[in-house]
Amino acid sequence: LDAKTLLNKLKKEHSLTLDEYRYLLEHRDCESMEIAAGYAKEFQNQYYGNQVYIRGLVEFTNFCRNNCLYCGIRRDNQNCQRYRLNKQEIVDCANEGYDMGFRTIVLQGGEDFAYSDDDICDIIRSIRSAHEDLVVTLSIGERSRESYRRYYDAGARRYLLRHETASPELYAKLHPAELSWEHRMNCLKDLKEIGYQVGAGFMVESPGQTMRDLAMDLKFVEEFKPDMCGIGPFITHQDTPFANEPSGTLETTLFCLSLIRMIYPMVLLPATTALGTIHPRGREMGIMAGANVVMPNLSPASVRKKYALYDNKICTGEEAAECLECLKRRMESIRYQIVTDPGNRAGL
């Protein structure tokens, strides 16, 4: 085995064995990162040119019934100041985003069942009736297949639900026993079958994660082919059971981005806020490694600090317009261009 040969094989075949992925991850060095980023950019350029898609993120509630060990808004965190946006506030965010040029918005929150299916459908319909060319993406966690279907019928077309890890054993170490890896995977299958464009994804270097676990995530992407794959480093949050665990690294995250682009060249790949948090130019580096999406924050400035999934999250003091301008400048600095477009996956 050697890294160069494996990267050439991956470039041609878009597939490696679990052990081959693992070898690449374990032997990552400057040279293999550079080769992978070069190939990844060829594919990125082939399908998306120098265009970067934007999604406006509305973090509408930080109430959560779950207790994921890594997450700052877990239900047992008493230091988290909870908030909920009402329907009008959410619709206002979407309208503001539309006026700024966003053609897709992501409604994200903790698993907050204070919003019934009727509420969620009502919000989707209100947004869609004002702007029929605004694509609604949901990211509200695990709900029933029936609920997912109702949101789709109300007009939602995309759903982001990271699988978090493709290893059932690691999943069990990152989550309390009441949550199950099988259930999360079933949700992803349901979403795909209903017809959503689906975003999966995982944390890089979460506590206890081995290179074999990470190789399993790459294999999962190869097999499941999510339309979008959101990955970012695990970042410590001081008020969680993982307060003393180290955050994931820039290098491993960038390498994973390049490998994912090579595995599934048409995939939508965000340079995430977490990546921008562990390094001041993390998002730019993410694009240079093969990513093609950024997700500026559209939440009202008054609630941003409260949606603290991890320590030192960026963009919590900015207004929506500032974030968009900031990202435009950042992308221009690396000769990429933010575009006003719903930003479908290539090939759809």
- On whether the CB atoms of residues 232 and 273 are closer than 8 A, the answer is yes
Strands 197-204 and 228-233: parallel
Our finding on whether 199 is near ligand FES (CB under 6 A) is: no
Binding residues for ligand FES restricted to 267-326, rule: CB under 6 A: 296, 315, 318, 322-323, 326
Nearest to 295 by CA among 277, 310, 335, 311: 277
Number of Cβ within a 10 Å radius of residue 208: 14
Q: Which of 7, 161, 174, 271: binder of ligand SAM (CB under 6 A)?
A: 161
256 annotated ligand-binding residue: no
Our finding on whether 110 is near ligand FES (CB under 6 A) is: no
Burial of 258 (0-12, 13-18, 19+ CB in 10 A): buried
71 annotated ligand-binding residue: yes
Q: Tokens 């007009």 identify what position?
A: 155
Cα 262 to chain centroid distance, Å, stands at 18
Give the dihedral of Cα atoms 11, 14, 16, 22; nearest 10 deg: 70
Question: Closest approach of Cβ 217 to ligand FES, in Å?
Answer: 26
The listed partner (ligand FES, ligand SAM, none) that binds 327, CB under 5 to 8 Å by sort, is ligand FES
The listed partner (ligand SAM, ligand FES, none) that binds 326, CB under 5 to 8 Å by sort, is ligand FES
Q: What are phi and psi of 133, to 5 degrees?
A: -100, 20
| Three-class secondary structure of residue 28 per DSSP | coil
Site string for ligand SAM, 57-86 (x = CB under 6 A): -------------xx---------------
Our finding on whether 327 is near ligand FES (CB under 6 A) is: yes
- d(Cα 98, Cα 105) in Å, to the nearest integer? 9
| Three-class secondary structure of residue 248 per DSSP | coil
- On whether the CB atoms of residues 163 and 200 are closer than 8 A, the answer is yes
Q: Which of 234, 255, 264, 336: binder of ligand SAM (CB under 6 A)?
A: 234
Between 203 and 323, CB nearer to ligand FES: 323
Our finding on whether 111 is near ligand SAM (CB under 6 A) is: yes
DSSP 106: E
Our finding on whether 235 is near ligand SAM (CB under 6 A) is: yes
Site string for ligand SAM, 120-139 (x = CB under 6 A): -------------------x
Per the annotation, where are the binding residues?
Answer: 64, 68, 71, 139, 164, 184
Per the annotation, where are the binding residues for S-adenosyl-L-methionine?
Answer: 164, 184
Q: Which residues bind ligand SAM (CB under 6 A)?
A: 70-71, 108, 110-111, 139-141, 161-162, 164, 203, 232, 234-235, 237, 274, 309-310
Q: Which residues bind ligand FES (CB under 6 A)?
A: 296, 315, 318, 322-323, 326-327
